[in-house]
Structure 1
Amino acid sequence: MSQQPPLRHRIITLSLLSVAAIYFLVPVYWLTVSATKDTGDLFGTFGFWFANPHPVDYLHDVLTYDDGIYVTWMLNSLLYAGVGALAATLLSAAAGYALAKFVFRGREAIFNVILAGVLIPGTALALPLYLLFSEVGLANTYWAVLVPSVVSPFGVYLCRIYASAAVPDSLLEAARIDGAGETRIFGTVVLRLMSPALVTVFLFQFVHIWNNFFLPLVMLNDSDLYPIQLGLVGWQGYADRAPELYQYTVGGAFMSVIPLMVLMGVLQRYWRTGLAEGSVKT
């Protein structure tokens, strides 16, 4: 019979978790309440309670403003984040698996360079990337945001660490003896064993691309190519001349977090599955 931790420790842990939950949930609550208000109530009423709420009407105004430009931004964000995160996950899985399970000259040097890439902030690379993409004629296109998004040094690092622990060499050798090629082994065996790590990489990369502001700001000047974050900042910049844009910005920000919440809820079960499998392995 397992012994429970002392009551004092449980109280401290619960208190810290409660404070953390409040810290993260209060902004979401404020955003939810504010999305139900018009511009006048947004500035003239208590920020943490409802006032004449008409959320459906206000959110409809956001979606239809300027010929539905917000819908275009939403689709652009889904394209950038979805395709970029999926490609980054597959690339990270392949690179991490190769670095973990294949011995070749320069392997550790390559891995060290990847680790160095984790420490370089994305803002430091935005201008060189813009100059490079301008030279090849890809600036102000979808590719200018998509191509840099498929590289995830952290994803490669995580996949290498996970592949080293979760993919047994004996299983790989058995598959090779049975005549399976390396591509088939990777696609049918390795990816399944690494699924918890791949879900983590996908989610981290999706959130990173979805919230990325500086790279699209540097790369794009056509508003039809903007992701949500860049478009909302543009609305906020014009709000002094069109006050209704304050409410549209808040409503747009509220709708922008919904895909992230849905994605987190959907992918949680894969984390639980991975943890349960790891707990019974011998």
Structure 2
Amino acid sequence: MLLSKAGVTAMLGLATLYTLLPLTWLLLSSTKSREDLFGTNGFALGGETHLAANLSHLFAADGGVYVRWLINTVLYAGVGALLASVFGVAAGYAFDKLTFPGKERLFSLVLLGVMVPGTAMAIPLYLLAAKAGLVNTFWGVFIPGLVFPFGVYLARVFSASYVPDEVLEAARMDGASEFRTFCRIAFPMIAPGFVTIFLFQFTQIWNSFFLPLVMLSDQDLYPVNLGLYVWYSSALTQGHPEDYLLAVVGSLVAVAPLIAVFLMLQRFWKSGMTAGAVK
């Protein structure tokens, strides 16, 4: 028992280090000047003045293009994940509670979509976007983010666990329409699932790289990940070491929204999960 506890503790410790060390290096490196970044230990602390100067330089570089990249990413990930979560919860509820022809066959297609990795879909999506004239447009990256098969699967699981059939039958007997029943009764019960799906999809879109790389050539449409890659590549291949520092500081700033969204929604997620368990 002691050995098993020690092994679990060691594994958790390694996982914690694996998570925190890159963030620590990123934070410490962002406090350094360009000379200190390459001339000092990776975990040595720089200075607050360097951090302020680096942030100022980041938001002013190339005409403030980093701010544009952040706005693009917020639109791609924030709005896209919100709509994808609404569609996913509605679809999962329909698969669980409604009866219609071919339901299980359609759900099998959803499960097939879960098994296909997103990178494998990038080229087919590019070809479809080319046919529709959406290549190198905002919609070419935004629309694919609205489809989240795993979210549909999770929503069906949450619907089956948290929404009693008896409650829905009572609402229908009182004359409520299916849409009203879903919005007023089922959706609040699936709220923990909605937050879970949103967090999954928000993180997935925020970290998406290959689809924007294939789909976009206009720098003003880049998400922040692709923009940072351009700066990093410029530092390595074109001899612009200042772009390396921009990529480091930009990566630190790009991580902050993910942490903030998770911390803001965590309490709603936990409270909803607890409420569902009590029910």
SS of 1:238's equivalent in the other structure is helix
Tell me the distance in 2 between the aligned counterparts of 1:108 and 1:138: 32
TM-superposed deviation, 1:51: 3.0
From 125, 132, 139, the counterpart of 1:143: 139
Change (3 A) 1:7 1:271: farther
- State the match for 1:133 in structure 2: 129
The answer to whether residue 275 in structure 2 is matched with residue 280 in structure 1 is no
Tell me the distance in 1 between the aligned counterparts of 2:92 and 2:58: 42
The answer to whether residue 55 in structure 2 is matched with residue 45 in structure 1 is no
From 210, 214, 219, the counterpart of 2:215: 219
1:112-157: CA deviation from partner (whole Å, max 9, x where unpaired)? 1111111111122111211211122111111001110000010000
From 84, 95, 99, the counterpart of 1:99: 95
Tell me the distance in 2 between the aligned counterparts of 1:275 and 1:89: 17
Q: Out of 219-228 and 186-195, give the one that drifted further.
A: 186-195
SS of 1:160's equivalent in the other structure is helix
Tell me the distance in 1 between the aligned counterparts of 2:271 and 2:5: 26
> Which runs of structure 2 are paired with 1:1-282 in the superposition (5 Å)?
9-53=4-48, 54-239=50-235, 240-281=238-279
Gapped regions of structure 1 (runs ≥ 5):
1-5
Tell me the distance in 1 between the aligned counterparts of 2:36 and 2:214: 35
Contact residue 45 and residue 51 of structure 1 kept, 8 A: no
Q: Out of 225-234 and 182-191, give the one that drifted further.
A: 182-191
Q: Out of 13-22 and 132-141, give the one that drifted further.
A: 13-22
Change (3 A) 1:52 1:165: closer
TM-score normalised by the chain length of structure 1: 0.94
Contact residue 122 and residue 210 of structure 2 kept, 8 A: yes
Which amino acid in 1 is paired with 2:32? K
Q: Out of 12-21 and 76-85, give the one that drifted further.
A: 12-21
Q: CA RMSD in A?
A: 1.4
TM-superposed deviation, 1:10: 4.3
SS of 2:217's equivalent in the other structure is coil
Identity across the alignment (%)? 48
1:234-280: CA deviation from partner (whole Å, max 9, x where unpaired)? 11111143211110000000000000000110111022112321332
Tell me the distance in 2 between the aligned counterparts of 1:138 and 1:279: 44
SS of 2:64's equivalent in the other structure is helix
- State the match for 1:3 in structure 2: none
Which amino acid in 1 is paired with 2:189? L
